[in-house]
Amino acid sequence: MGKLQALIFDVDGTLANTERDGHRVAFNRAFARAGLNWDWSVLLYGELLAIAGGKERIRFFIDEYRPDFEHPTDLDQFIADLHATKTRYYQQLVAEGCIPLRRGVKRLLKEAREQEMRLAIATTAALPNVTALLDHTLGSDSQSWFEVIAAGDIVPAKKPAPDIYHYVLEAMDLDPRDCLVFEDSHHGLLASSQAGLKTVVTVNTYTRYQNFSGALLVLNHLGEPDQPFTVLAGNAGDRSYLDMALASHLHGK
């Protein structure tokens, strides 16, 4: 195994806690706008997160929770339109600053860039949502920090399928053994592990009790020098925040 060459980040739940106060709220606004009396509570949304991808999640909800819903003639188009409205609402929320980055993310990205580490993004979410989040949290040039931003429908099978990670590895001509992934969910970990990638997990309230066996390290967040992380599984030695030294150490294990 060679030196660590690239960090690959998931977005939702990993870079920022986007789901509860971002995507969920945007879905509900889109439903209201379309005159639908659907409301995804915090609790229900936790169940719906079992389905990756916004369009797929809406379809699943209709099938499983609204069996009596009278399908429009073109259900695919109906869902696509609803999702496009949701994307606009989500971008508004991001622009209003409702969704900050998670602890330690900005610091780690800065250090990685200083070390000329190659960076990429691998997410299930739609590309405009990712770029909006990057623009509003890291600045308008931050898209260029990432050699590849692999998002949404760019691959046919979303996480937990490994396809999005295969896409990134191929686009960057990287061996999976030379990378480190950051994920927040069981689905994400399944996707990265199946692509042969070593993974650090930072949990959030939706994913806290999921199964993360196979992860190198499971943390409550990446930590900061004055705000230590809690190790939930794995061994971080005497470290209290995840920096490039710890990333390289974990990768070399």
| Residues noted as catalytic | 10, 12
Under the binding rule (CB under 5 A), the answer on residue 160 touching Mg ion is no
> What distance in Å separates the CA atoms of residue 43 and residue 218, rounded to the nearest whole number?
23
Scanning 6-14, 62-70, 105-113, 212-220 for contacts with ligand XBP by CB under 6 A, the matching segment is 6-14
CA distance linking residue 6 with residue 94, whole number of Å:
27
Q: How far is the CB of 185 from Mg ion (least distance, A)?
A: 5
Using the 8-state DSSP alphabet, how is residue 20 labeled? I
- Dist CA 157 CA 137 (whole Å): 28
Within 47-106, the residues that bind ligand XBP by CB under 6 A are 52-54
Q: Which of 17, 123, 199, 204 binds ligand XBP (CB under 6 A)?
A: 123
**Sign of the torsion angle spanned by Cα atoms 217, 221, 222, 227:** negative
What one-letter code names the amino acid at 221? H
| Binding residues for ligand XBP, total number by CB under 6 A | 18
Asked whether 44 and 20 are in contact (CB, 8 A), the reply is no
Rounded Cα–Cα distance for residues 240 and 222 (Å): 9
Count of residues interacting with Mg ion (CB under 5 A) = 6
6-9 vs 179-183, strand pairing mode: parallel
Q: Tokens 């660590």 label which residue?
A: 4
Interface mask toward ligand XBP for 147-186; x: CB under 6 A = ------------x-------------------------x-
When the beta carbons of 56 and 224 are compared against ligand XBP, the nearer one is 56
Interatomic CA distance for residues 150 and 123, integer angstroms? 6
- Minimum distance, C-beta of residue 52 to ligand XBP, in the bound complex (Å): 4
Question: Maximum Cα–Cα distance for the chain, whole Å?
Answer: 60
3-state SS class at 79: helix
Which 171-200 residues touch Mg ion, going by CB under 5 A?
184-185, 188
- Cβ proximity to ligand XBP, 142 vs 202, nearer residue: 202
Stretch that binds ligand XBP, among 30-38, 68-76, 119-127, 172-180 (CB under 6 A): 119-127
Positions in the binding site for ligand XBP (CB under 6 A): 10-13, 19, 23, 52-54, 123-126, 129, 159, 185, 187-188
Q: Residues in the site for Mg ion, rule: CB under 5 A?
A: 10, 12-13, 184-185, 188
